[in-house]
Chain A
C-alpha cells in the first residue's frame, strides 16, 4: 500500500464548519482528521458517507470522497460502495436519530452482514438539527420541545443494540477524550468487517452536560469504567470492580471480594453475552459506564465473501461469454429460403 505523509490540514476542506460554537462534533472531527492523516494512506481511498442531522454534515469537512445523503440510509449507501470497492476505506457518520430511529433497519442489517464499514454514531441524546426534540436515546421523562410532559419513549442502548445484531466490533468513546477516541478508531480501522463506535457527543445548545457524569472532573473518576483487553475491570481508583453474578455484570466494592473473582475483560469472546452484560451496566451515561472496546471478533466480511464468490465463479465457469449466455436456453435456426408460406 502506498503511504504518504499527511498532516491534519490535508484532510480539512475549504468549507466553513457550521456546527454551533462549543459543539462536541468539532472535537470528533479533529480526532478523525488527525487519525486518518497519521495513517498515511492516500486521501483518495477514503469515503465518508453520512445521513441527515448535525453530525451528518461531517463529510463536507473531510477532504476525501464523501456523500451527505438522506436520512438514515448511510449504512445502505456505504454498503454499496464497500461491496464493490474493497480497495477503499469506507466510513459512515451518523447520529442517534439518523442511525437508531429512521435508519434503524439499515444499521442492524449492515452489522449483521458485517460489511467492511466503520460506523461512527454521534450520540447526543437529542434531535439537534430540528431544534430539540427527544431522540431514541433520550432518557424517559426528558422534557423537550416535543415532550413537554416528559418523554414516555423507552430509549435504546446503542451498544446493546449493536451487540444484539451480532456486530463483530463494538466500542464506545467520548468526544472530549481525543486520545481514547483515536485508540478506538485505530482498532476499528484495523478490524475486518463492520466496526460500530458509539461516541458520546455533547450538544451544548439542546442537551448540554448530558454526559457530565462521565466527563466532569469530579464525576468521571467515579463513573468512568475503562475496558482494557486482558485486564480485570476495575475503576474509581481501583476501589470498584465488575463481577459476573447470576448472569449479570455487577459493580462491587473491590475490598469486598477475592481479586480473582473480578471479571477480566476479553473483547475476543466468540459469544457476545458477556459484552452484552457489560453494556447493561448503564442504560445511559448516568452512573458507572463502560468505555472502550466491548467486542472485537473475527467473522467473514460480506464484501470479502461477495468478491470471493465472483472469483470462484470465474475460476469454475471461465469469464462470462455473452454469446453463450443468450444461447443457454436452447436455440433453433431458421434457414434462408424457408419453404413455409406466411
Chain B
C-alpha cells in the first residue's frame, strides 16, 4: 500500500475529502458573510444559527411532512430566506447608521433566541438524518473509496459558490449590487431601489447558509448547537481571507478545510485549533488578510 509520511494513502485521501467537505461549508458561509457585510455593513452572527435552521428544516420536512431531501434542498433555503427578510425588515434596518458593533450584538441576540427555541423543543442531542437514496454507498476509484454523498456535497457547494460569484461579477444585477456596496446614495439617485436590494442581499446570504445546512444534515448530526461552533471558525476564515473578494472567500474556505483535514491526519490534537493558529500567523504576516486590501 502506498504511504506518505507513514500514513496510508487511502486514509490520507479520506481525511482530505472530509477537509474539502468542511471547507465547502466554510466557503459557503464566509461567502454569505462577505456579501452581507458588503451591502449591510453588518457581520451576521446569526449566520450559524440560520445554517442550523436549514439543517433542521430538512429534518423537519422529512419527519413531519414526508418531504424528501431534494425538496428540502430547495425549500429550506427559501424558508430561511423569508425569515431573513423578516429579520432585516423588522430589526437590522434600524442599525445601518450606527456603529458596526451593534449589528454584531443584535445578530448575536438573534442567534441566542433561535438556538434557544430549537433547544427548548428538541434538546441538545443530535437528530439523525439519512443520506438520500440516490447518493448512498461509495464509489471505488482504485486508489480510494469515495463516499458518494461527500463527493456530492463538494460538487454542489462548488457549483453554488461559483454561481454566486458569476451572479455578482458577471450580471447586471451583480453590477448594481457592487455599485450599491461602493456608494449606495449614488446608486439610489439612479433610480435603483437600494433598500430592496439590501433586503434581498441579506435573504440571499442566509439562504446560502441554509443550503449549506441542508447539505450538512446527513453528514453531521442535526442539533441546535451545530451552528455556533461553526460560525466562530468561519469568523476566523473571514479574518484570514479578508472580506474584499468573493473568489478569495471561496478559496480561503476550501483551503482551510483542507488544512484542517491534513492536521487531523498528522496531529489530531490540533485539528480543532489549527484554523485559529493560521489566523494568528496571517495577522502577524499580513494583517489585512490574504485577499484583503490594506485600508
Q: Does chain A bind chain B?
A: no
